[in-house]
Amino acid sequence: MKRINLKLNVILLTILAMFAAMNSYSQQTREEIPAKYKWNLTDLYASDEAWRDAVESLTLKLDEVEQFKGTLTKSASNLLKALEFNTELSKEASKIYLYAGMNSDLDTRDMKYNGMKQELQSLFSNFGAKAAFIQPEILAADWETIEGFLKEEPKLEIYRMGLENMFRTKAHTLSEAEERIMALSGMVGSVPQAVYGTFSNAEMPKPEVTLSDGSTIAIGSAEYGRYRASSNRADRETVFNAYWNNFAKFKASYGEMLYGNVKSDIFNARARHYDSSLEASLYPNNIPAEVYHSLVDNVNENLPAFHRYLKIKQRMMGVDTLKYLDLYAPVVKDVDLKYSYDEATTLILEALKPLGKEYVSTVEKAVDERWIDVYPTPGKRSGAYSNGAFYDGHPFILLNYNDLYDDVSTLAHELGHTMQSYFSNKTQPYPTADYETFVAEVASTFNEVLLFNYMIDRVEDDDVKLSILMEWLDRFKGTLFRQTQFAEFELKIHEEAEKGKPLTGDEFSEIYADIVNRYYGHKEGVCHVDDYMHMEWAYIPHFYYNFYVYQYSTSFTASISLAEKVMSGDKQALDNYIEFLSAGGSDYPIELLKKAGVDMTSTEPFEKTIASMNKVMDEIEKILDKKEKE
């Protein structure tokens, strides 16, 4: 089956508003929101009944896979028939799952669509068990035989990439019986993530707090995201204390969830004869483990640059001690950068013009034809993502838009994912249309770079310029340093578990405390990290995605390098970039980026990113010095 991709954004859970009262949409039900701001899921299926018919039709076809058993390597035509059969099934399965999954995301409290997802997961797992013979049977032949088939039957060429990779990873492919067991294990391996999602989004109790204005509110993820950006420090303190101490009440349960997921990763790695969970995650995409380790090492060596950022934030806020709870608060007084969704789309369309007419016109279509579900509503999945799994249709974007400039940037980010899916699906045959996360975040961050440069070039007021510069600097914090902080934590907990150490909520908190305190210079007095923040690991859904987060950081460095070339007016750089967006999974991620113009096995992208960050900080300090002299 083709992997079902959810392209998650850099700050997956917390792109929310400063004050609920400033945006009435945050209080509205779905019925109260105009249709133009909501998904049109009839693009997938006209109704739940039509979806059910599609599921039944697909179910009848699944058993047909067994007709190919024992025939795959007897002729080129036999191999082609089997692969084409799998392609058609996969396309329909992706569409079916997309409909159930996105309906569930619109209201995580509605168990109907959650049940539909579970039904499909069981169905696909059973199919995987029946189709377990395919890969071992192909690998039983030698590559020369398969190469001969490719030359004999031109229609097989679109499967070359997958077949070559299959033979490259041959040492990690098991026997038919073992592959069947591995496929069936997917029914239980996904349980920790499913439990985490349901509990965190739908069932975790919300603590109540009383704010400085006398109002009493329940603090869930949406409220936390809103009030952590409050300009009132006392309110932030209240909200942080309540929110994180509430997580601590469920430390043992969150520990079991995450440890269960780590054990699942280890099981898969050892069953497939990998030396580690990290290798098992990276090797199928031909990404050297050194890329991961190099990222962590480079970020740790450049923590002084991060600490410089934190000291600038302290200076701008005018506080004696910068605290972790200050990191999302506004730093420029009397500047409230708020943009309605319609204003945001206008800004983004202007900012993206360097990418050409087709790019911009497709973004307009995404806005006008309801590819985007815009506003937060009760029960809606928090955060944002783009899903490009509807190959014969169009991508979809989920937002929780609350009128902050940060939300404008998030929309630009998700449109980057959407456009990569659009170009890949349009250009590539289905077997090579899907692309890996390692390259996915390049397209999204690239759009953020264009938006930042568009905005900063048109702002003259120093306070507004400072606000936008700091927002962009916050992206370096959130994408390069924070995501690498998560990546280091994820690596550490897997390494500890692989040594045989059992992990509980207490151990996770201890490991996280060591990393977060080091990154934020807690002991050096750069930024004070309260003890309750040691529970933050329980808040991050990415830890259930098998070494996912490091790719945000690597992609950020790649996008900085590529965007500079395109913005310089280099037409060849633009052509290379559009070709990159259109390449899908037609080559390995490292090679696709090399063709686009950036070598991720070198230190150059990281060095350019740190230089860019320092340039922004130089500009901020220049404006601050000027203002202090006035």
What HEC string does 468-510 produce? HHHHHHHHHHHHHHHHHHHHHHHHHHHHHHHCCCCCCHHHHHH
* Residue matched to tokens 């704010």: 211
Does 414 qualify as catalytic in the annotation? yes
CA dist 229 and 586 (Å) reads 42
Residue 353 has pLDDT above 90, yes or no: yes
Percent of the chain topping pLDDT 90: 79
CA dist 405 and 182 (Å) reads 45
- Confidence category of residue 1, pLDDT binned at 50, 70, 90: very low
Q: Report CA dihedral (158, 162, 164, 168) to the nearest 10 degrees.
A: 170
CA dist 235 and 240 (Å) reads 9
Crossing angle of helices 176-189 and 251-271, rounded to 10°: 170
**What average pLDDT does the segment 82-93 reach?**
95
Residues contacting residue 1 through CB under 8 Å, at least 6 positions apart: 86, 89, 90, 93, 94, 124, 127, 128
Residue 156 has what DSSP assignment? G
CA dist 421 and 436 (Å) reads 11
Q: What is the pLDDT of residues 571-603, one digit of tens each?
A: 999 999 999 999 999 999 999 999 999 999 999
Q: What is the pLDDT of residues 108-162, one digit of tens each?
A: 888 999 999 999 988 988 898 899 899 999 999 999 999 999 999 999 999 999 9
Domains and CATH numbers, the chain: 39-194 (1.20.140.70), 276-329+412-630 (1.10.1370.20)
**What average pLDDT does the segment 446-472 reach?**
92
Residue 11 has pLDDT above 60, yes or no: no
Stretch among 12-16, 134-138, 439-443, 505-509 having the lowest mean pLDDT: 12-16
Residue 382 has pLDDT above 90, yes or no: no
Other beta carbons within 10 angstroms of residue 525's beta carbon come to 9
Q: What is the pLDDT of residues 312-327, one digit of tens each?
A: 999 999 999 999 999 9
* Residue matched to tokens 């025939």: 71
pLDDT of residue 9: 32
Residue among 137, 414, 436, 536 flagged as catalytic: 414
pLDDT of residue 444: 93
Beta strand pairing status for 385-387 and 216-218?
A: unpaired
pLDDT of residue 28: 83
In sequence order, what E strands does 351-498 have? Answer: 372-373, 385-387, 396-398
Contact 69, 137 (CB under 8 A): yes
Distances in Å between the alpha carbon of 428 and those of 165, 420, 423, 425?
18, 11, 8, 6
Residues contacting residue 544 through CB under 8 Å, at least 6 positions apart: 192, 193, 196, 258, 261
Partnered with residue 292 across adjacent β-strands are none
Q: Mean pLDDT across the chain, nearest whole number?
A: 91
- Confidence category of residue 18, pLDDT binned at 50, 70, 90: very low
Q: What is the pLDDT of residues 398-432, one digit of tens each?
A: 999 999 888 999 999 999 999 999 999 999 999 99
Residue 541 has pLDDT above 70, yes or no: yes
Residues contacting residue 594 through CB under 8 Å, at least 6 positions apart: 600
Q: Which long-range contacts (CB under 8 A, 24 or more apart) does 209-217 make?
A: 209/238, 209/239, 209/242, 210/238, 211/235, 211/238
Residue of 267 and 383 predicted with greater confidence: 267
* Residue matched to tokens 């050096």: 524
Exposure on the CB side of residue 199, measured as CA atoms within 13 A = 17
Q: What is the pTM of this model?
A: 0.80
pLDDT of residue 184: 85
